[in-house]
């Protein structure tokens, strides 16, 4: 094999392929023998569309969203749940005006039916936003989340948006005049700050939903309520499960009228079932996992971890140490610990589930999934794990020898760590190529990745943005630091009041672990992260000399500013991650990377979207100004049309290529393909390359 400097390897994964080679797929639903899903297409300027496939013609996919529409909700900023199916229509939220529209479900249209508005124009552009809808079995009532700007509603707190359930009588949609919208007014005692997952029972007699209030996030503590549908959709509600210290997720109804949901009351999210004829607290356990769970942090409103098959069994996405698998559960069994049957799919990540019958009446699980060597796709599986249909083809390299397997590792924390008694977790990927190898005696550079959230996790599923680096000769450590999901409630809560401490310790510990093992070049270790991961990057650079470079992509830099200037959904998030503000203001100031910039000596790459409302651009500008004042080399790149998370193909391409260029300057290699240098930078190591 030819020896080539690590970082300069020729790769079959150009940045352009990562940007446009495959669409981002989310949320799946079925109607009759048709399968529907959503695709976000960076090649179409980030437009999101609904696609329909068919059991009878699995290769004949049809985009049903007209070109002038894009399907995306602005609720909670992160959205999700932007479309749903009714008996005869698909309903969706249009990104440009945040109104709900509906389209008739037609078997094989040559042209998509024209959408009609369901909700009226708001008082000001996008000031009424909707998500997570559900239509009752009769097709009359639509219940969904409505998020209203403070100028258009009475707010419990001045300046706060209002989140509430609303009901729309679809029989009043006549002559193209949208129906009036009525808030759902159940007597539930104390009003909540947030609502989610409104779901009608199969007979239309009951409505369930989740609610929670500050300072809780939905993975801290939520309540599951149910109410009879009386006199429209108003009535007296009953608390089924949940509370301040119990997180409920993935609620839904089975065909025989049981309400199934996940609760973490045992320390692991497990499934429970409750019937409206039963009393509160009488739910029965369906699963009894003690080292795995059926649940996830509800950042997006389209998350769902189970579906019921026509046989009555539940197909369940189970997470164990951040890796997903598919299992069958019989909800009718009296022994929850013995009813789980694995379905051998080879998947590593599952993000949506539905079910239907195939042509031979074999029940099929339809899902959005990804394997360790397969990018995200939509497919159906039989109960034995065999593929029923592939509705979308996952991206695969022609030669799988380019793709390394994720190696799970556990590492120790320093004795003084608040979580020293619990091992940390990461997935490590080694550089791999069938054609070249690194120079004899050399060791690869290492990139340590801290995921965003921080309440989230990295999975071992194929991630082309990781293999962009491994195919070029980098080792990558994807860290599931304390606080990550997928390891049970205790691990998830390790980050309480420790953000900016434990996550930083873990990233430093992973790097030290691999350096001590003699597997990476100790002089060529970088750390990268986006959003919450950006805070980890900055704090790690300030607190350790192990990292020779850092990259922050729309990273959090000023905790105090974030507490004072962010959207409602996350406005009290830091209460549990850092402390209450302003009572714990000193902690905020101590933990904020902007106040630690003076300790950073390693060069940095900072990238920021100028339309970001989660982490405003001024945070990145403060970092760059501080680096300049301290004469620390930096590169700064802004993206005028991007918000929190890059969607445009040109932005994704530029950010990846610029990062590769950045590492090349610092680690002494030349990228295989030429890259235009940045415009805004400081430091001789960069400026000698000819940019202004």
Q: Tell me whether residue 172 is in a domain.
A: no
Confirm if 256 and 274 have CB atoms less than 8 A apart.
no
The whole-angstrom separation of Cα 240 and Cα 221 is 14
Cα–Cα distance for residue pair 407/460, rounded to 1 Å: 8
User: Do residues 655 and 607 make contact, with C-beta atoms less than 8 angstroms apart?
Assistant: yes
Burial of 33 (0-12, 13-18, 19+ CB in 10 A): middle
On whether residue 632 sits in a domain, the answer given is yes
Looking up residue 492, the CATH number of its domain turns out to be: 3.40.50.1820
Q: What is the dihedral of CA 118, 119, 120, 126, to 10 degrees?
A: -130
In degrees rounded to 5, what are phi and psi of residue 550? Answer: -145, 145
Is residue 546 included in any domain, yes or no? yes
Does 561 map to a domain? yes
Instruction: Give residue 175's pLDDT.
Output: 47
pTM, two decimal places: 0.92
Identify whether 523 is part of a domain: yes
Domain residue limits at 576: 2-13+399-687
Q: Tell me, what's the pLDDT at 365? A: 95
CA distance 515 to 134: 52
Longest dimension (CA), the chain: 78
In a domain, 589, yes or no: yes
Give 106: exposed, middle or buried? Use CB within 10 Å, 0-12, 13-18, 19+: middle
For the chain (length 692 residues), average pLDDT per consecutive 10? 95 87 84 92 86 81 93 94 95 97 79 87 93 94 93 64 91 62 65 93 94 96 92 79 96 96 97 85 89 95 92 95 95 74 93 85 90 90 89 80 94 94 97 96 96 92 94 98 96 96 96 97 96 91 95 91 87 95 96 90 95 85 91 94 86 95 96 92 73 40
Residue 159 confidence (pLDDT): 67
DSSP-H helix ranges across 517-640: 532-543, 559-564, 574-577, 585-591, 617-629
CA proximity to 486, closest of 603, 647, 323, 335:
323
Structural domain contains residue 275: no
Task: Answer whether residue 466 is part of any domain.
Answer: yes
Only one residue has tokens 């190591």, namely: 685
**CA–CA gap between residue 662 and residue 524 (Å, rounded):** 12
Q: In Å, how far are 86, 528, 604, 605, 606 from 659, measured between CA atoms?
A: 45, 10, 10, 7, 10
Judge if the upstream peptide bond of residue 259 is cis by omega within 30 degrees of 0. no
Could you give the number of structural domains in the chain?
1
Q: Are 460 and 26 in contact (CB under 8 A)?
A: no
Q: Hunting for tokens 């401490």 — which residue is that?
A: 501
Sign of the alpha-carbon torsion through 165, 231, 168, 124 = negative
Cα distances (Å, whole numbers) of residue 264 to 193, 242, 269, 502: 21, 9, 4, 23
Please give the pLDDT value at position 178.
59
The pLDDT of residue 106:
80
């Amino acid at each position: 094999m030819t020896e080539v400097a690590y970082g300069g390897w020729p790769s079959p994964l150009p940045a352009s392929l990562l940007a446009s080679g495959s669409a981002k797929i989310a949320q799946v639903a079925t109607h009759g023998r048709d399968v529907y899903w959503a695709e976000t297409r960076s090649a179409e300027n980030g437009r999101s569309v609904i696609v329909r496939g068919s059991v009878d013609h699995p290769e004949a996919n049809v985009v049903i969203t007209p070109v002038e529409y894009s399907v995306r909700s602005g609720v909670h900023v992160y959205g999700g749940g932007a479309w749903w199916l009714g008996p005869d229509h698909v309903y969706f939220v249009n990104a440009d005006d945040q109104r709900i529209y509906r389209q008739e479900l037609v078997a094989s249209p040559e042209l998509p039916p024209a959408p009609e508005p369901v909700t009226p124009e708001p008082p000001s552009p996008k000031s009424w936003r909707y998500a997570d809808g559900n239509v009752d079995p009769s097709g009359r009532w639509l219940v969904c989340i409505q998020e209203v700007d403070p100028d258009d509603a009475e707010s419990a707190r001045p300046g706060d948006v209002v989140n509430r359930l609303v009901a729309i009588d679809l029989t009043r949609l006549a002559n193209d005049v949208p129906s009036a919208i009525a808030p759902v007014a159940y007597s539930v005692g104390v009003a909540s700050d947030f609502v989610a997952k409104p779901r009608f029972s199969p007979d239309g007699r009951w409505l369930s939903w989740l609610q929670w209030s500050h300072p809780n996030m939905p993975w801290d503590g939520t309540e599951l309520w149910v109410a009879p549908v009386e006199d429209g959709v108003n009535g007296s509600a009953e608390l089924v499960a949940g509370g301040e210290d119990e997180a409920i997720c993935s609620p839904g109804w089975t065909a025989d009228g049981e309400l199934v949901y996940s609760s973490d009351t045992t320390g692991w999210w497990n499934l429970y079932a409750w019937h409206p004829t039963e009393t509160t607290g009488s739910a029965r356990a369906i699963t009894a996992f003690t080292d795995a769970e059926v649940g996830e942090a509800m950042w997006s409103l389209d998350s769902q971890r189970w579906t019921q098959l026509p046989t009555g069994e539940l197909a369940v996405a189970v997470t164990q140490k951040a890796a997903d698998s598919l299992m069958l559960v019989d909800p009718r069994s009296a022994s929850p610990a013995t009813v789980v049957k694995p379905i051998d799919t080879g998947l590593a990540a599952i993000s949506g589930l539905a079910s239907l019958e195939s042509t031979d009446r074999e029940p099929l699980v339809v899902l959005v999934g990804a394997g360790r060597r397969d990018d995200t796709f939509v497919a159906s599986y039989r109960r034995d794990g065999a593929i029923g249909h592939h509705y979308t083809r996952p991206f695969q390299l022609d030669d799988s020898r380019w793709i390394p397997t994720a190696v799970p590792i556990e590492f120790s924390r320093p004795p003084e760590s608040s979580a020293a008694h619990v091992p940390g977790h990461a997935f490590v990927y080694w550089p791999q190529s069938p054609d070249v190898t690194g120079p004899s005696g050399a060791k690869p550079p290492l990139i340590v990745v801290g995921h965003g959230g921080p309440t989230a996790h990295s999975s071992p599923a194929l991630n082309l943005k990781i293999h962009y680096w491994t195919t070029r000769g980098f080792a990558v450590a994807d860290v599931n630091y304390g606080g990550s999901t997928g390891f049970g409630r205790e691990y998830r809560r390790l980050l309480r009041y420790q953000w900016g401490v434990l996550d930083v310790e873990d990233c430093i510990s992973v790097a030290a672990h691999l350096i001590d093992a003699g597997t990476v070049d100790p002089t060529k270790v970088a750390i990268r992260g986006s959003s919450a991961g950006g805070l980890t990057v900055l704090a790690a650079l300030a607190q350790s000399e192990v990292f020779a470079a850092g990259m922050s992509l729309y990273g959090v830099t000023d905790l105090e500013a974030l507490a004072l200037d962010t959207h409602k959904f996350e406005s009290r998030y830091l209460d549990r991650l850092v402390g209450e503000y302003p009572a714990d203001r000193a902690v905020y100031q101590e933990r904020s990377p902007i106040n630690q910039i003076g300790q950073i000596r390693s060069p940095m790459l900072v990238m920021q979207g100028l339309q970001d409302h989660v982490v405003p651009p001024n945070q990145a500008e403060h970092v760059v100004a501080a680096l300049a004042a301290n004469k620390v080399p930096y590169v700064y790149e802004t993206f005028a049309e991007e918000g929190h998370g890059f969607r445009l193909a040109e932005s994704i391409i530029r950010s990846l290529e610029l990062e590769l260029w950045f590492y090349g300057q610092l680690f002494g290699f030349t990228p295989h393909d030429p890259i235009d240098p940045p415009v805004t930078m400081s430091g001789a190591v960069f400026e000698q390359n000819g940019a202004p």
